[in-house]
Amino acid sequence: MVCHAQGIFPADDGDKQMSTILPTENQDWGFWGTMREHAAEAWPIAFTAIHDATSTDPASVRAFLDSRYGRHFADGVNGQMHHGASLADAIAKTTAEWMGWRITQRTSRETGIPAGLPYLTGFVINEGIAAEAQD
């Protein structure tokens, strides 16, 4: 990966990778703030994992990671690390866990996210829409 002012650009290895990993806009809270000393290393790994799992746009991934749901995602990563997983494995396990959960009818009524959608996909899209509405 190469760092630039515009973001971090992964090497092109032919895999399903995006061209840009957007930087956080919330270093105090969300995923970045919760990951503390691991944040700089964890951000591009989590960003890519979430993008690849959800097939959502980079702005929505950043909005999710910068949100309270990004903090909850980081709590899952930290929990996995506490149980001995490496950072990359912790992010992979947390991503898989969130993709395995489904939006319930109750959550759908509360948020408007369609029931049955993978939890991670639903909240990434939801946070992306919320961020876009604020612009």
The C-alpha atoms of residue 106 and residue 115 are separated, in whole angstroms, by: 8
CB 97 within 8 Å of CB 76: yes
Percentage above 70 pLDDT, the chain:
86
Query: Helix, strand or coil for residue 17?
Result: coil
Q: What are the C-alpha distances in Å from 63 to residues 15, 45, 87, 105?
A: 24, 16, 21, 24
Q: What average pLDDT score do residues 22-47 get?
A: 97
Would you state the pLDDT for residue 57? 97
pLDDT (tens digit per residue) in 7-26:
433 434 444 455 689 999 99
CB 21 within 8 A of CB 32: no
User: Residue 19: its pLDDT value, please?
Assistant: 61
Which two tokens mark 9?
């650009």
CA distance linking residue 106 with residue 119, whole number of Å: 13
Q: Which residue has the higher pLDDT, 8 or 30?
A: 30
Give the pLDDT band (50/70/90) at residue 6: very low
More confident residue, 12 or 43: 43
Q: How far apart are CA 18 and CA 13, in angstroms?
A: 11
Lowest mean pLDDT among 12-16, 25-29, 31-35: 12-16
CA distances from 66 to 6, 63, 83, 114 (A): 17, 5, 25, 22
